Amino acid sequence: MERRHLAECGSTNTEALAHLRDGGGPLLVSASRQTAGRGRLGRAWLTDHAGDDASLTFSVALPMPAGLDLSGLSLAIGCTVADVLDPAGERIRLKWPNDLFLDGAKLGGILIETVPLPDQRRGVVIGIGLNLRPLPPEADRSAFTSGHAALQALDPAATASATLDRLAPVLRATLADFETLGFAPWQAAFARRDLAAGRRVRVGEQTGIAHGVSPRGELLLATTAGILPMSGGELSLRLETSL
């Protein structure tokens, strides 16, 4: 897969989407600094830019079959990133559908966006942002509503380029497997890191007890009306009890 590094851009997802719109093939684009990084639901993705290794921001662009069910893709990617960074499975947890938590605070997030392509293809962009270095004590933490965790708490020597070198080949393999097998092979791996399992949560208008995920990656919510499968790009999960 072609790799490109930019010193600065608005958003690596925007770069990757434009590349696919222009007919480009598989690409991994990373940036030292994003001036308009975005998260899900129109939120800004704020990163500390105090030096190159404060955070890692990158996107993978890939043309995929138009009919492929992407509902579990962010979960498969989350499992892959967590397994590379925390192979013992002790400290990184995943919060459906796109958050990585380390020791109870947000370590990173995944933003998947798509663009229609000709010939039964769809351009898929997987954007990943990871905090590498802890915020300095004087930093304003108000934007980090789920707390701020840094990979250097797990691996003090973590740098952006070394972390990307560890992740890139494994992500490529995950994407190839996902294209043929869907999310099902990651269902058990997700269950091992599921931050919400057994907790009271709110998903959109619904509240209930998080009951794992389906083979498609839908969140299973146990409610008084039974187990409801929840999915959709606009949904997010809120823990009703603190960690």
Instruction: Using alpha carbons only, give the angle 83, 189, 186 rounded to the nearest 5 degrees.
Output: 105
CB of 36 to ligand BTN, least distance (A): 7
Tokens representing 111 are 């933003």
Residues annotated as catalytic are 40, 106, 238
Non-local CB neighbours of 29 within 8 Å, separated by 6+ positions: 3, 4, 5, 6, 12, 15, 16, 19, 58, 59, 61
What residues make contact with ligand BTN under the rule CB under 6 A?
A: 11-13, 34, 37-40, 43, 45, 57-59, 98-99, 109-111, 127-129
Residue 174 or 211: the one with the smaller Cβ distance to ligand BTN is 174
CB of 222 to ligand BTN, least distance (A): 26
CB of 149 to ligand BTN, least distance (A): 13
Residue 30 or 174: the one with the smaller Cβ distance to ligand BTN is 30
CB of 129 to ligand BTN, least distance (A): 3
Residue 41 or 188: the one with the smaller Cβ distance to ligand BTN is 41
Residue 128 or 151: the one with the smaller Cβ distance to ligand BTN is 128
CB of 143 to ligand BTN, least distance (A): 12
Q: What is the DSSP string of the chain?
A: -EEEEEEEES-HHHHHHHHHHTT--SEEEEEEEESS-B-GGG-B-----SSGGGEEEEEEEEEEETT---TTHHHHHHHHHHHHH-TT-SSEEEETTTEEEETTEEEEEEEEEEEE-STTEEEEEEEEEEE-SPPPTTS--TT-TT----GGGT-TT--HHHHHHHHHHHHHHHHHHHHHH-SGGGHHHHHHHBTTTTSEEEETTEEEEEEEE-TT-PEEEEETTEEEEE--TT--EEESS--
Residue 73 or 128: the one with the smaller Cβ distance to ligand BTN is 128
